[in-house]
Amino acid sequence: MRIRFLGKLNTIGRVSQKGFTIMELMVATTVFTVIMLILTIAVIHFTNGYYSGVTQSTTQTVARNIANSVAQAIQFSGEQYISSAPIKGEGAYCVGGELFSYKLGFEQEPSSNSANPQNVLVESPQPGCSATNIKTLMSYSSNLPAQGLLGENMWLSNFTISPVTSATLPAGGVTTVNSILYKISVRVLYGSCGLLKNTVTGNSNICPPPAAPPGYNALAVGSKIYCIGTTGSQFCATSGLSSVVEARIQ
């Protein structure tokens, strides 16, 4: 038997030596880097948006809970409304046997910073609250059960409970009023002082001067405080609520 080869014997077993050139590798690396950069930016943007939403939602919930606590005290009690005008941000309201002691312009410190952290806003049962003892009961070291209404790193920039009927504060800063309608205004801030700005004072942020004593910060008081659109703004939020409540029980 005769076998004929048709001239292709020299191609059998030949291994291709063709590969990527340096230019092709550089182009591929550049494309891969650009894709990874786009994905990284997208992930960062998504993460910032997520934290911003959580921060804003938490702040709104706290402001809403404060307003609801005051509204319930007003609606289901026929007792008098008593207020003590704030001195350097510290004041109090007695409504329906509940004492709301507050500190405007103070940041709620984390519980880990102190064995007995000072609460910026406290609700405590004080059925014996009156115009003569409200300033004494304002003490934050009261032994009566108390509930802190602000979360860590939050500020209370505005907190007012006022009868819709006009009333003036007599000498001593204490007023007692019987009314049916009350207006509640609350503004809660979240974030470090460097992320917040008071548009009334015009300061670049609400951080107090270096020489200022710790505690009360006048720049953090008011209803015109907003977040600054800067790095870290996803950890800044403000929430203001205002409502009119009717006392259902007289």
pLDDT of residue 141: 43
| Whether pLDDT at 67 is above 90 | yes
Pick from 158-172, 188-202, 206-220, 226-240: least confident: 158-172
Pick from 102-106, 155-159, 244-248: least confident: 244-248
Name the pLDDT band for 132 (thresholds 50, 70, 90): confident
**Is-contact 66 186, C-beta < 8 A?**
yes
pLDDT in tens, 201-221: 888 888 887 666 667 888 889
- Mean pLDDT (the chain) is 79
pLDDT in tens, 87-98: 888 888 988 788
The whole-model pTM stands at 0.74
Name the residue ranges covered by the structural domains of the chain: 30-246
The pLDDT of 60-74, averaged and rounded, is 91
Measured in residues, the chain has a length of 250
Rounded to whole angstroms, the Cα distance separating 37 from 33 reads 6
| Whether pLDDT at 65 is above 90 | yes
What is the 8-class DSSP label of residue 197? E
Name the pLDDT band for 137 (thresholds 50, 70, 90): confident
| Whether pLDDT at 178 is above 50 | yes
Which neighbouring-strand residues pair with 103? 90
Torsion of CA 52, 58, 62, 63, to 10 degrees: 30
| Whether pLDDT at 173 is above 70 | no
Secondary structure element (H or E) that encloses residue 87, with its range: strand 81-87
What is the 8-class DSSP label of residue 217? -
pLDDT of residue 78: 59
**Is-contact 124 142, C-beta < 8 A?**
yes
